[in-house]
Structure 1
Amino acid sequence: TYRPTVDHHISRIETLKSLLNKHGAPGSKGCASPNDLVPLNSHDDESLLDLHPHLYPIAVSSSTGNYVCALRRAYADDADYESSNNAPWPIVESKINGVGYNLLAVNSEHF
């Protein structure tokens, strides 16, 4: 089974992380401050298990604890995300144990 990498769904992820760190996330409620977002290069932190399982964390705000994430698209009958293999993931803001998320961009190209 073909399983695309995260890079396939989030174009230029390293550039996105750098821009988020320097400028914050435009339109965000808790991740908009420059030099506040810390890029996530590891997903080993157990607290990330409390984010919605469809969210792929990209960066975290050092002041609010909010996350900028990519939203994996999934459908009720698609546990392996195969229906969205070729689709870019929208960029959203969320928080640990939060209800839902806020759409920031349709994908990383529109950010």
Structure 2
Amino acid sequence: MHHLVATDSVHTTAAACDYLAERLGSDDRVTVVSVPGEDARDADDALNVANARLIGTAEVETERLDGDADPASAVLAAANARNADVIVVGPHAGTPSAGPALGSTARRIVEGADVPVVVVPLSL
């Protein structure tokens, strides 16, 4: 199975890795894409977290996407281009003040995806 994790923060990546840890098999692949938001450094750190947390559990690829104008479209295009079987996202930007509701990017990914989308809760 090919999982595409879309993230813009270390919090989202950590939550996605926690979710995937018990579900990954040796034949699974994980592509982690970051779409930098307000804090591009956090998006880059998010990719490093994925490599550190998932090493040895599955084949892992990371990539920083250019999604300045439309992060949801960049994630959906990445999932389609890589033939992802599932997309894993956080409910919103990984900030404590964001609240529990789906953010606009997560909502657009859920609404526009051709594959299942898993929204992982953030532990902030």
TM interval, shorter chain, is 0.3 to 0.5
The structure having more radius of gyration, on CA atoms, is 1
- TM-score (normalised: structure 1): 0.34
Considering fraction of residues, name the structure with more helix: 2
